[in-house]
Chains A and B, each alone.
Chain A
């Protein structure tokens, strides 16, 4: 079983619509959670951290459910520029080794 699992998609989303997707993690000792964005043939870039109380950054909302061991990302008012692969990232250690999911592809269409 993979340590971080994601629905690979693609999620095809009309421009302006809302899309949401989850990822699950297997290690209950996981300490930190992140969403990264990766564009085609580019390096991953931090989109946002995920906090226990849930957090928002503009059109993006992240939630953490420790009991069920999943995190979610919701994108409101989708833009064409939101088309990318979204990587769910978990940290088990006190230092920076990160565990990455394989990503969820989002395609925003005009």
Chain B
């Protein structure tokens, strides 16, 4: 597609439920990143994919968070047993190889845990 696509755009879930967030990167972009942004805060790095492998998952806050990428394209971020502190905007970005100036963000998924 023309840009990075994320779905859903908004998600309200009950505490304790699992959620899946999806990211469709720009076609041909091999690098994919997940960040989250809490209200009034900067973006917090979660995980980086190069192709289907994740050489850096150091930002995942707990073992309730996991992510995968298949076919070098679509990525899914899964949060198990959601907590209220997981409420944030989850942003995905992709880039061609590691070209930082080619970084493009999706419009994000706003997650609210009630």
Stretch of B14-22, B60-68, B69-77, B92-100 that contacts chain A: B92-100
Q: How far apart are A102's CB and chain B's nearest CB, in angstroms?
A: 4
A98 touches B45 (CB 8 A): yes
A44 touches B95 (CB 8 A): no
Is residue A106 contacting chain B, with contact meaning CB distance below 8 A? no
Given known A43-B91, A46-B101, contact A95–B45 (CB-CB < 8 A): no
Chain B residues 75-112 with CB under 8 Å of chain A are 91, 95, 98-101, 103, 105-108
Give complex CA distance A97, B40 in Å. Answer: 21
- Among residues of A, the one whose C-beta sits closest to the C-beta of B58 is A97
Give complex CA distance A100, B46 in Å. Answer: 12
A49 touches B101 (CB 8 A): yes
Give complex CA distance A32, B99 in Å. Answer: 11
Residues of B within 8 A of A46 (CB): 101, 103
B107 touches A42 (CB 8 A): yes
B98 touches A87 (CB 8 A): no
Is residue A58 contacting chain B, with contact meaning CB distance below 8 A? no
Chain A residues 3-31 with CB under 8 Å of chain B are 4
Is residue B31 contacting chain A, with contact meaning CB distance below 8 A? yes
B106 touches A43 (CB 8 A): yes
Is residue A34 contacting chain B, with contact meaning CB distance below 8 A? yes
* Listed A/B pairs (12) with beta-carbon separation below 8 Å: A34-B101, A42-B107, A45-B105, A95-B98, A96-B98, A97-B33, A98-B33, A98-B103, A100-B35, A100-B43, A100-B44, A101-B42
Contact surface of A with B, Cβ cutoff 8 Å: 4, 32, 34, 42-46, 49, 87, 91, 94-103
